[in-house]
Chains A and B, each alone.
Chain A
Amino acid sequence: MAPLNPADTAAQRPFLRAARGRCGGLIGLMLFLAGSALPAAPEPRIELAATRDYGYVMGDLIEHTLTVRVPESFALETGFLPRPGALDEWLDVRSADWTSERGNGDARYRIRLVYQVFKGVRGPEKARVPALPLRFTGPSTLEANAPEWEFTLMPLISPQLPDEAVAIRDALSPEPIATAPHWHRVWIYLAGSLALAGWLISQRLGWSRRARPFARAYRELKKLLHGPVSPETYRSAVKLLHRALDETAGGTLFAGQVERFCESRPAFTEIREELVGFFTLSQRLFFTAPEAPAPADYPIARLESLCRRCAAMERRVP
């Protein structure tokens, strides 16, 4: 609008004067309309990125990433994207996928296209990936084209080699069927079932038979007797033997149950008297005369020998 300003430089004046004379008002009106009344059609901005545009050979994959920016009110018509399959005689589309993000009034699409080249050439040649039409729906339909893309294609077979001299690559020979995965699984199953069977057997036989509570009690008793013998250690020793008896009986064993215990475990019958003596001692020690000094007729060595004999009985049980 500046040239129409009456206060213009003198150099422009002759021309202006001529224009103003005939249709100055009309031009002014047109410029005004063009500038303000017609909205600018939204123009998608498309950027194409590819790894390189040279050195491709037969069968290579070409990866294109299109970054498209449109106003937020538009959405990509994904049905319009090419479907995997042959695009033309020598170019396949292998995949076309896309992601989108929105913000700042824009919608940004990243469209990833993978092509595969099937063009046979005799020498280096230029080839062209055709323009890709894109369509957006929104307040109106928007169409745009991703640009064409040129690249250099190289031959695999030396151009100097005449056709007759080219050796066709041989067919693939059959492969033996792989047995390794089967062996692998067999070993895994075998190991699993062996472990499980072992566990089952251990459950069946019961721990008590193998754990040998008296043997363990004897070991702990030995450890206990390393230090000085006080009334406290004496009590601990008696308790150790009690726990071993409980474990062997599968429940708490009290004086009144010694008879039945020996009946169900004949190996222990020959030390029944000794066991009864032990229970008498325990009763005196813990309940009937807790304050009395340790009994002289039952030195700790006797406890130890009882425990050793019990451990021996325990081993004799199959």
Chain B
Amino acid sequence: MILPDPKPATGYDKDQLLADWRERALGFEREIGKAVIGLDRAIRRITQAIFARGHVMLEGDVGVGKTTLLRAVARGLGGAYERIEGTIDLMPNDLVYHTYLNEQGKPQIDPGPILKHGELLSVFFFNEVNRARPQVHSLLLRVMAERSLTAFNREYVFPYLQVFADRNRVEKEETFEIPSAARDRFLMELHIETPKDPELQRALMFDPRFHDVDRLIEAVRPGILPYRDIPDLARIIQTQIQASDALQRYALNLWEATRKPENYGVKLDGVDTAQLILAGASPRGMSMMLRAARVSAWLDGRTHLIPEDLQAVFVETTAHRVFFTPVYELRRGFLIGELMDGILRQVSAP
């Protein structure tokens, strides 16, 4: 399906378009759900990220299905897929080109993983991103922010690019914490956890279907979501989904509450809330939250945002943008969840 130029608002029915695409998006979710089980929430968030045109950071234990999930997503989207493993000796150039001696024994330079597919690159998966050095992080930062890269004396543009990064939270040695500026560019930070449902756990252990990852991925119908059309559709979603005054007030209150939780009566055990926050969510973060929330409303078949849309994406889009004072930063893993819950519980709407 080829979209007409979105600027003239005549010639096609936007509502019908949105409804068609919604069906496709739900179909996409169902297809992914075949390959990975027990990750419905993560699938929904990734779908939202795809249509909000945002990058996603995955975090979780080893072997919970992060890579499988992403491979399935890449297959569902179609387009070129590249992945790279973060290591301590990985350098920015390794992403851009690689040099080798060819069959004739002559040195040759080929484009690296990012450039290999040109502008058709749709999914770039950076595995174990916290093992890479800060130089690599900053390159990634530019690719994510501008969807472009300068190499071989010209600028490469990746209009369909979606970056997924994966952070291993088990090891701490030989890792480089991702700077807050880079974290802020991710739309979402998803925590992937082992399914709690004993039935699913048993299926994962005993169902032979889940033992062969390649077969699993092949079961996903390729290219359900034509990746080339998504940028245009994403723009339409953002313009078509409305936010009322009351909802804007609610969103502003949520934002304010990430900066001054004490003003909203948020109380955490053993924490002086007034001393907790070093920096609240950034304006970019809040605009990203609204983008994701609009997609959420669209996926639910609404044309107006309601508070539940914001709540659905609030934790994933905001938690990684709130920074605690050093005293509390050590207990971040526990406190951040409490704080987000507290804010959602205390900020009222309408």
Contacts and interface: CB of A to CB of B under 8 A. Distances in A.
Contact of B346 (A235, A252, A254): A252
Contacts of B345: 251-252
A286 B246 contact: yes
B211 interface: no
A242 interface: yes
A246 B307 contact: no
A251 B347 CA distance: 8
B246 A287 contact: yes
B346 A255 contact: no
B247 interface: yes
A252 B247 contact: no
B257 to A, nearest CB: 11
A283 B346 contact: no
Interface in A172-215: none
A255 B350 contact: no
B244 A254 contact: no
Interface residues of B, number: 19
B245 interface: yes
Contacts of A256: 308
B238 interface: no
B305 A287 contact: yes
B350 A242 contact: yes
B349 interface: yes
Contacts of A283: 306
B348 A286 contact: no
Interface string B306-326: 111001000000000000000
Given A251-B345, A252-B345, A286 B308 contact: no
Contacts of A86: none
B304 A242 contact: no
A157 interface: no
B192 interface: no
Contacts of B305: 287
Given A252-B349, A282-B350, A287 B306 contact: yes
Contacts of A288: 244, 302-304, 306
Interface in A285-307: 285-290
Contacts of B88: none
Contacts of A282: 350
Contact of B311 (A235, A254, A285, A286): A254
Interface string B53-66: 00000000000000
Determine which residue in B246, B311, B346 has the highest number of CB atoms from chain A within 10 A of its CB, and name it: B246
B46 to A, nearest CB: 22
A258 interface: no
Contacts, number: 46
A264 to B, nearest CB: 14
A252 B344 contact: yes
Contacts of B308: 254-256
A285 B246 CA distance: 10
A287 B311 contact: no
A285 B202 CA distance: 46
Interface string A222-243: 0000000000000100110011
Interface string A249-278: 001101110000000000000000000000
Contacts of B306: 283, 287-288
A251 B342 CA distance: 9
B347 A286 contact: no
A250 B246 CA distance: 22
B348 A289 contact: no
Given A287-B244, A287-B247, A290-B246, A252 B304 contact: no
A56 to B, nearest CB: 70
B346 A251 contact: yes
A22 B302 CA distance: 142
A239 B349 CA distance: 8
Nearest to B307: A254
A239 B350 contact: yes
A120 B247 CA distance: 99
Nearest to B243: A287
Nearest to A289: B304
A254 B247 CA distance: 13
Given A252-B347, A283-B306, A286-B247, 11 more contacts: A238-B350, A242-B348, A254-B308, A254-B311, A256-B308, A286-B349, A286-B350, A287-B246, A287-B307, A288-B303, A288-B304
18 contacts: A238-B350, A242-B350, A243-B348, A252-B344, A252-B345, A252-B347, A254-B308, A256-B308, A285-B350, A286-B246, A286-B247, A286-B349, A287-B244, A287-B305, A287-B306, A288-B304, A288-B306, A289-B304
Nearest first, the 4 A-B pairs at minimum CB distance are A251-B345, A286-B246, A286-B350, A290-B244
